[in-house]
Amino acid sequence: MRVCVQSPANALEAPGLKELTDPRRMYATALQNSETVFAIAPMMDWTDRHCRFLHRQLSRSALLYTEMVVADAVLHGPRERLLDFDETEHPVALQIGGSEPAKLAEAARIGADFGYDEINLNVGCPSDRVQSGTFGACLMRTPALVGECVEAMKSAVDVPVTVKCRIGVDDQDPEIALDELADTVFEAGADALWVHARKAWLQGLSPAQNRTVPPLDYARVYRLKQRLPDRFIGINGGIGSAEEVVAHLKDTDGAMMGRTAYQNPAFIADVEAALTGNEVQVDWDAVVNAMANYAARHVEKGGRLSHVTRHMVGLFHGLPGARRYRQILSTEATKPDAGPEVLFAAYGTVDIESARRAA
């Protein structure tokens, strides 16, 4: 098994990784060359541009996703604030929510013009707000409409258009619902289908419960891949370690890690090492310096240090000093006049040498 590695020029050096694959051919290349894709899932309120910049410091290969942006917001909202990203984030995909083909097509075009490497349609989010807009997971009930949306988006852009879905919703039979959706979106031109291997229960469960309560059914996604060997099928849901990523990639084309990558970002580097076969030793001094410089630029533009550091609280789990590190970021970094010196002070409490000795 080989991994489809993307290597932005400004990312951290990681010897032995392949050169940048054209993101516009990423999925086709993966299928043709029996390569695989590792991705960080789109997560509402979490995977903003500051989070993605951190994740890029830990992996040259991971495909990064934005949090979902509603098509109407792309069309009528503050585009620069919603869509701007740092060049080092490539490859990066924009996830859009909506159910009106014309609006989605225009939003996709705008996203592609901003430089995103992929446009993804959300057919998996179960939140009440999304349901009230008749999109997200409730679109599992209307695969024909999803196909129309994908077809319209494909006609508007020349970057990959993909779909992220569940295996079904409510009382749907996942064997029927997932096959019908997959066949429809691929017929419409979708380049890839990422499947969260759970149902979404739109009545009776909160969005948070929908991420954990419905049982995982990885085998259902594996069966979809077996039925569609020439289509890119990626898997998501409950993946908690590098070993699990490697295991899933034996039966699918891509593995997408969510909450584990956010809550303990060091796992991202573990996956990088497992997939490339290289001993990727994270240079934490370089990571923190990169984040401090990035945060300084953000503060100079009027932002808050905490906008950046809130995504870094999960670093250094299990190391001596990690608790004090978290305390400093949670209290000092939230102050209005906080600058990158707070991040350096927090980092100074962590015994990084113990990690180096253990490695």
In angstroms, the first-to-last Cα distance of the chain is 25
| 349's tokens | 């409490």
φ/ψ of 284, rounded to 5, equals -65, -30
Q: Reduce the DSSP state of residue 337 to 3 states and report it.
A: coil
Query: In b/e form, how buried is each residue of 120-157, taking b as 16+ CB within 10 angstroms?
Result: bbbbbbbbeebbebebbbbbbbbbebbbbbbbbbbebb
DSSP tally for the chain: helices H, then strands E: 18, 10
| CA–CA separation, 92 and 18 (whole Å) | 18
| 60's tokens | 């040259």
Residue 125 is among the residues annotated as catalytic for this protein: yes
| CA–CA separation, 326 and 350 (whole Å) | 10
Query: In b/e form, how buried is each residue of 57-90, taking b as 16+ CB within 10 angstroms?
Result: bbbbbbbbbbbbbbbebbeeeebeebbebbebbb
| CA–CA separation, 79 and 111 (whole Å) | 9
The burial of 6, by beta-carbon neighbours within 10 Å (0-12 exposed, 13-18 middle, 19 or more buried), is given as buried
Helices (H), 11-140: 26-32, 49-58, 71-76, 79-83, 101-114, 128-132
Pick the catalytic residue from 4, 51, 125, 149.
125
Q: Annotated active-site positions, please?
A: 125
